[in-house]
Amino acid sequence: MWEVDYSSVGMTAPEGPAAPAGFHGLTVRTRLGVGTYDAAARALFGWEMHRGTPLLDVPAGTPDAAPGVRVTVRMGPLQAPCQVVWTLNEADRTGFGYGTLPGHPECGEESFVLRRHPDGSVDFTVHAYSRPAAWYLRAAGPLGRLGQRVAADQYGRALRRASRGR
């Protein structure tokens, strides 16, 4: 069913399978503030978070995130094709994960999950397991992973702005 280029589909999902050997893990958490959950969820599933991140873009007309939806995240001249492989929609936790498709510079999966706490505060977590797929990322070594961390930080900032209407 999935055309992703790795074997452990759903590895970033709650209670998903383990990541394959050789995949690096990343977790970045951002506090969004109190009362931001619904706006953040709309911005997340509608790709506004991606569009609000410097140097990244998602084409207009891309359907909201749902299992099977394909999206090409553009990073300047680079294209990163992905497919949404899971979604989560609970009362106080929502999000999705997408996996890389052939042609993506990385191989793996990345997830974006919002959690609303009893006091109304909201956390946003980016979780990824990946390994370089393109030669230039393999050559970059740890700098490639640093770039992934910077992107995850930017996702959090963009979602914080979007959820607060700024």
**What is the 3-class SS of 87-105, one letter each residue?**
EEECCCEEEEEEEECCCCC
User: Token match 């140097």: residue?
Assistant: 55
**What per-residue confidence (pLDDT) applies to 54?**
84
Which residues of the chain register pLDDT less than 70?
1-2, 166
Tokens (6 digits) for 135 = 């030669």
Tokens 């006091």, located at residue: 119
Provide the pLDDT for residue 140. 86
The Cα 138–Cα 17 span in angstroms is 25
Q: Tell me what pLDDT residue 78 has.
A: 85
Q: Token pair of 79, please?
A: 């294209």
What is residue 147's predicted lDDT score, i.e. its pLDDT? Answer: 81
Please tell me whether residue 145 adopts helix, strand or coil conformation: helix
The architecture CATH gives domain 28-163: 2-Layer Sandwich (3.30)
Tokens (6 digits) for 145: 């992973």
pLDDT recorded at residue 2: 55
